[in-house]
Structure 1
Amino acid sequence: MNTPVAKAGIIWIQQGFQTFKKRPFELLFMFFGVIFFNLTLSLIPMVGSFLPFIFGPVLGMGIMHACRDIDEGKPFARGSLLIAFRSPALKPLLMLGVLYTAALVAALASSIPADDGALWNYLTDPSKADQKAIIKSNIGWGMLTFFAVYTPAAMAFWYGAPLVMWHGMSVVKAMFYSFFAVWRARKAFLMYLIAWCGIMSFVALIIGIGGGVLNILLLPLMLTISLVMYCTFYFTYKEIFSRDQMV
């Protein structure tokens, strides 16, 4: 396990954009596959809102696998998105997704005492949200509480999927290593977060200045940025973990 320097957070983003430039159409096709898969899952009654989170590690490893192949100069393999479904790691990855979903719900529920449920109500049923009531509520405290609980959980799940699938770790061991890996790389991740905030702010500024004409480009631009962010996940992993013992 390596400890990256702070500027690595910027380099990861650069590598994500470079990877997208090498195979933009193939990666976009995969990303639309993820979106379609999640939309289909969300239509299932009762559990549909949870299934995209549960299958997140499974589909995420498909994009990670594609990024690894692109990075190593290998041909783009068809069916990369579904590679985890054919892996012995499928069940542990789904378990990881279940635990992540439970942690997300628990973190969101922890905000209820801080803001009387304002954040919970806004995220679970935004169609009924009253903007004036939200402004007057303590939703800011609710968000702070949510992130205070969610951040350690996110650290434990960040590298869970690749450690399970590529290193053959158990779910618990993968979460343990993931948490401390992110903690050791906290300076790099801080730079990573600041850089992404800067990019998103710049995009919002340009769209705001450009008005209606540039608004047409907002959706494809946001999809591209989201995909590039997915690509950077692989490079954060590559920087920190040696792959000599990969399965």
Structure 2
Amino acid sequence: MKLHIVPARTGLEWVRLGIRVFWRQPMALAALFFMTMAAMSLVNMLPLVGPAVALALLPSATLAMMVAAAEASQGRAPTPALLLVAFRTGKQRLHAMLMLGALYAVGFLCVMGLSALLDDGQFARVYLGGQPLTREVAESGDFQAAMWLSLLLYVPLSLLFWHAPGLVHWHNVPPVKALFFSIVACLRNFGAFMVYGLSWIGVFLGAGIAISLVITLLTAMGLGAGLAGGLMVATAMMLAAMFLASVVFTFRDSFEAPGRDLGDNQGSDQNAPPAASD
């Protein structure tokens, strides 16, 4: 496995490819994203352990979207079975993905725990426990300090896990090494990831402005707030699916292509990241 250093402009290409591959299979990718979110929401409802288990499933959900985007980029329609791709690639990789999920859950809960030192856990209860967010709470200085601290601490956590699911799945890298290689790759390609992040912010802001204009028009036409709300939710889901679809391209360009024995559980490269010609 060899790390690739890419120019900063590649970040914009990753965004373009994510949007492009989504529109190759919009229904399949949107449905898979919806199913992953629905599954995690159901798990989150389990008493006591629900939130922690849902967090532990996030790397597997990310991998499912990465593999689905790879399938779509190669002209194949992603299937709902990809939702379980992390659990169908042999015991060794299954254990590695479970370990990765556990490490992510612990890391995220540590972030929430540190933020609780500033606001007595108010932000954590809102974010994890579903406690209603009132205007009074949102305007609290302690709550805002906890929120910004969580955001600051989550950045390195996300870099640690950005490439880790792909490294475990396609390169068979042990979880701890995958975390190390992931953050090194992100930092070595800092310029590309900065452009990538800013480009996605631009896409989300542009879509938000466009949807606001459409909603204003619908309201003026008297079509009701229900349709406007549905449009907002659908747009948010599509944008999130596009974003997750683009992750596989950041992985593909950051590391040398895996061998054929690191593909799916049949030992082929069917689920390998898309070729660089995409």
One fold, TM greater than 0.5? yes
3-state SS of 1:67 partner: helix
- Post-superposition Cα deviations, 1:62-81, rounded to whole Å, max 9, x if no partner, equal 22222212223346456222
CA distances 1:170-229 after superposition (whole Å, capped 9, x unpaired): 111101100100111111111111112122222222333343524441111111001001
Local SS of the residue matching 1:234: helix
Equivalence for 1:227: 241
| TM superposition outliers: structure 1 runs of 4+ over 4 Å | 74-78
Q: 1:56 — aligned with what?
A: 58
Q: Assess, with a 3 A threshold, how the Cα gap between structure 1 residues 39 and 140 changes in structure 2: closer, same or farther.
A: closer
Q: Distance in 1 between matches of 2:36 and 2:4?
A: 31
Q: Which residue of 1 aligns with 2:68?
A: 66
Aligned letter for 2:108?
A: L
Q: Secondary structure at the match of 2:20?
A: helix
Q: 1:239 aligns with which of 253, 262, 276?
A: 253
Is the CA contact (8 Å cut-off) linking 1:38 and 1:52 kept in structure 2? yes
Q: 1:87 and 2:89 equivalent?
A: yes
- 1:217 pairs with one of 231, 250, 256: 231
SS at match of 1:141: helix
- Residue 272 of structure 2 corresponds to none
Q: Cα distance 1:215–1:76, how it changes in 2: closer, same or farther (>3 A)?
A: closer
CA contact (8 A) 1:62 1:82 kept: yes
Partner of 1:204: 208
- Tell me by how many angstroms 1:156 deviates: 1.0
How far did residue 128 of structure 1 move? Answer: 4.1
Q: Aligned in 2, Cα 1:121/1:36: closer, same or farther, shift over 3 Å? A: closer
Q: Distance in 1 between matches of 2:209 and 2:80?
A: 38
Alignment counterpart, residue 14 of structure 2, candidates 12, 15, 29? 12
- Structure 1 residue runs without a partner (length 5+): none
Q: 1:178 to 1:130 in 2, by over 3 A?
A: same
Of 132, 142, 147, the residue aligned with 2:146 is: 142
Task: Measure, in 1, the Cα distance between the counterparts of 2:133 and 2:41.
Answer: 22
Q: State how far apart, in whole Å, the 1-side matches of 2:97 and 2:39 are.
A: 17
Cα displacement string for residues 88-129 of structure 1 (whole angstroms, at most 9, x for unaligned residues): 211211111111111111112212333444422432345344
The answer as to 2:103 corresponding to 1:103 is: no
**In 1: Cα distance, 2:78 partner to 2:39 partner:** 21
Q: 1: CA distance between counterparts of 2:60 and 2:38?
A: 15
Q: Please, what TM-score do these two structures have when normalized by structure 1? A: 0.90
AA partner of residue 122 (structure 1) = V
The residue number in structure 1 matching 2:39 is 37
* Two-structure CA RMSD over aligned residues (Å): 2.1
**Aligned length, in residue pairs:** 247
- For structure 2, the residue ranges without an aligned partner over 5 or more in a row are 219-227, 263-278
Q: TM-score, normalised to structure 2's length? A: 0.81
1:167 alignment counterpart: 171
Does residue 131 of the first structure (1) align with residue 141 of the second (2)?
Answer: no
